[in-house]
Chain A
Amino acid sequence: MIAGIDPLDGLRAMLSHDFIRHAFLAGTFIAAAAGLVGYFVVLRNQVFAGDALSHVAFTGALAALAFGIDPLLGLFAATILVALGMGALGGRARSRDVVVGTVFAWILGLGVLFLSVYTTSRSSSNGAVGVNVLFGSIYGLSLRQAVVAAAVGTGVTSAVVLIARPLLFASVDSDVAAARGLPVRLLGLLFLALVGVTVAEAVQAVGALLIFGLLVTPAATAQRLTARPFLALALSMVLSVAFLWTGLTLSYASARLPPSFLIVALAFGTYLAVVLGRSVLGIWQRTRGALVSLPA
């Protein structure tokens, strides 16, 4: 499956496979939604809500499989319900990391049980299902799943664009926003529900354990590159989609490296380069400033 000499030929060969077309269709919308939602996740300092939701996604998907329901249904139901629950508990749930740690270790343990129930009851036809949920299986999407992922991704993207301005205001200064009459609490709840949907989407692309690679890393990179909020929001989405496309293409060309690894590695490499680049720039500017201010 090595790509041909002519890059266009290689591209045409790659896109002639159904599984690749499904992966690009679903992946583009998933990455766009994750990039947009991720920007606000980082801005609102809710990275650990995302972490918690990814654990829930793992257990939800495997519970559905163990009981013979559509795993997509389990995935979305679990993440949205828990996201709303977390939103209802509000600030109280955030600070007590010991409680959160204990509860989520148990939820993962429950997921392990469902995985074991599923693999032992339905012969050994699909022993890799747990690995797929944990690390993604974007090449395994059917046309129906890809269309659902694209439709949900479009929904999330439009919802974020619609509430972007008030959400930005509420995220940066919630007290002033509330004083101006913005429904801050409702916005927070709606946003957490969107995070829940996005996590459920991203599980299909990169898996429950690697969600931060699409949800957090592109957003963190964008915020390092620009301080202007709407530019950073757009940049986060563009970066996220670019990492997904490049990751899929490289994975196809290498035939051996899993796509979720490549997507996350590309995102992390870019983040690292931006962080290092900025600090080198900062040192250089300081040195130059010091040299200029030196008496001749």
Chain B
Amino acid sequence: MPLTDLGSPPQPSFDLWGDLQQLLQFHFMQNALEAGTIVAVVAGLIGYFMVLRGQSFAGHTLSQVGFPGAAGAALLGVTPALGLLVFCVATALGIATLSDAHSQERRAESAAIGSILAFLLATGFLFATLYSGFIDGVYAFLFGTFVGITDSQVAMLLLVALVAVSVLAVIGRPLLFASVDPDVAAARGVPVRLLAVTFLVLLGLAVAEAAQITGTLLVFALLVAPAATAQQLTARPGLGLALTVAIALLVTWLGLSVAYFTIYPIGFFVTTFAFTAYLIARAVRWGTGIAGRHGAALA
């Protein structure tokens, strides 16, 4: 129920410790913070590689596919998280098969993807219409919610996150190599194709996880913005990964806390904080660039 009026919101006292205690005394906020933390770590790590590999459009497609998945699951009486996972992973495999066969015809490809996207979203809308919990459900799927996350949902998020992060830990180093220079990596015997397929499936998992907090339309806030911010600040992969996760965590925690103290939806705060972080990083880079050129000119 992200958009219904829950009465007057709790007032922050601006005593940070007191506010934090007020926040944590509710079980649903504890669950929301746990879920947010899990999601931010997964989305940050996988988002870093996604931006590095220039696959944010695949991420966009996967996130929109999540909507019919979640709505279809709700219609069938299954938990929406399951629908999200199944649809995102299946689409990831589909993209992996199709993108190879048709990578030459870029114009036809973008028209085809656009048509498929519109059809999938229309299907999601049909499912949501047929499902009785109509409007609130649509908004929760599209724009996220943080109230009513159950213990079992947190457990499922954690399980999927553990699988995704372990696989990423195993393939991380060759994946980095294959992402930065696929030709040289292939020549050195790195299984570039297998890595690409595995990564797309991981991306599907990350999108399905993130969509449960930010909603399917706002997944980019956690998937793209923290990684893009980190890559503005550093080119070193290890530092970049750590920075991405830190920014994703900060954005999620801030978003959850501020959303708790206002009547406005979490999706707005998470996207705004993520976008602000990106703008600050651009400004910092621009500033240091000018300072660097200035120093070089003086020397």
A41: nearest chain-B partner, CB-CB: B111
| CB of B135 within 8 Å of the partner chain | yes
Given the contacts A109-B268, A134-B142, A220-B112, A120 and B5 also touching, CB distance less than 8 Å: yes
Give Cα distance in the complex from A11 to B116, angstroms. 31
Interface stretch, picked from A73-81, A123-131, A161-169, is A123-131
Interface stretch, picked from B120-128, B239-247, B291-299, is B120-128
| CB of A150 within 8 Å of the partner chain | no
| CB of B270 within 8 Å of the partner chain | yes
Interface stretch, picked from B22-30, B175-183, B200-208, B213-221, is B213-221
Q: Would A102 and B3 count as touching, CB distance under 8 A?
A: no
| CB of A63 within 8 Å of the partner chain | no
Q: Would A106 and B274 count as touching, CB distance under 8 A?
A: yes
Q: Would B118 and A211 count as touching, CB distance under 8 A?
A: yes
What are the residues of chain A within 8 A of B271 when measuring CB–CB?
105-106, 108-110, 112
User: Quick one: which of B57, B116, B121, B274 has the most chain A CB within 10 A?
Assistant: B121
Nearest 4 pairs of A and B residues by beta carbon? A109-B271, A212-B118, A105-B220, A268-B119
| CB of A113 within 8 Å of the partner chain | yes
Interface stretch, picked from A16-24, A140-148, A253-261, is A253-261
User: Quick one: which of A101, A103, A220 has the most chain B CB within 10 A?
Assistant: A101
A44 CB, nearest partner CB in chain B, Å: 9
Q: Would B278 and A102 count as touching, CB distance under 8 A?
A: yes
Mark A225-265 against chain B: 1 for CB-CB distance below 8 A, else 0: 00000000000000000000000000000001110110011
| CB of B133 within 8 Å of the partner chain | no
What are the residues of chain A within 8 A of B142 when measuring CB–CB?
134
B1-15 residues at the A interface, CB under 8 angstroms: 2-5
What are the residues of chain B within 8 A of A119 when measuring CB–CB?
3-4
| CB of A293 within 8 Å of the partner chain | no
| CB of B146 within 8 Å of the partner chain | no
Mark A82-117 against chain B: 1 for CB-CB distance below 8 A, else 0: 000000000000000111011111101110110111
Given the contacts A101-B220, A260-B122, A212 and B274 also touching, CB distance less than 8 Å: no
Supply 25 A–B pairs (Cβ within 8 Å), ascending by A. A97-B54, A98-B228, A101-B56, A102-B274, A104-B220, A105-B274, A106-B221, A108-B217, A108-B267, A108-B271, A109-B269, A109-B272, A131-B135, A135-B125, A209-B118, A209-B121, A209-B125, A212-B118, A217-B111, A220-B108, A257-B126, A260-B125, A265-B119, A267-B118, A268-B118
Other-chain residue from B57, B108, B217, B267 in contact with A97 (beta carbon distance below 8 A): B57
| CB of A194 within 8 Å of the partner chain | no
Q: Would B220 and A261 count as touching, CB distance under 8 A?
A: no
Give Cα distance in the complex from A90 to B182, angstroms. 30
What are the residues of chain A within 8 A of B60 when measuring CB–CB?
101
Majority secondary structure, B binding face:
helix
| CB of A36 within 8 Å of the partner chain | no
Give Cα distance in the complex from A134 to B125, angstroms. 9
The count of A-to-B residue pairs whose CB atoms sit within 8 angstroms is 169
| CB of B265 within 8 Å of the partner chain | yes
Residues of B within 8 A of A (CB): 2-5, 51, 54, 56-57, 59-60, 106-108, 110-119, 121-123, 125-126, 129-130, 134-135, 138-139, 142-143, 217-221, 224-225, 228, 263-265, 267-272, 274-275, 278
Given the contacts A42-B107, A98-B228, A210-B121, A112 and B56 also touching, CB distance less than 8 Å: no
Q: Would B3 and A116 count as touching, CB distance under 8 A?
A: yes
Given the contacts A47-B114, A131-B138, A271-B115, A98 and B224 also touching, CB distance less than 8 Å: yes
B153 CB, nearest partner CB in chain A, Å: 22
Give Cα distance in the complex from A210 to B135, angstroms. 17
Mark A188-213 against chain B: 1 for CB-CB distance below 8 A, else 0: 00000000000000000001011111
Give Cα distance in the complex from A119 to B136, angstroms. 12
Give Cα distance in the complex from A105 to B142, angstroms. 12
Give Cα distance in the complex from A158 to B220, angstroms. 38
| CB of A216 within 8 Å of the partner chain | yes
B275: nearest chain-A partner, CB-CB: A106
Q: Would A220 and B115 count as touching, CB distance under 8 A?
A: yes
User: Quick one: which of A102, A212, A264 has the most chain B CB within 10 A?
Assistant: A102
What are the residues of chain B within 8 A of A212 when measuring CB–CB?
114-115, 117-118
Q: Would A113 and B218 count as touching, CB distance under 8 A?
A: no
Q: Would B107 and A128 count as touching, CB distance under 8 A?
A: no
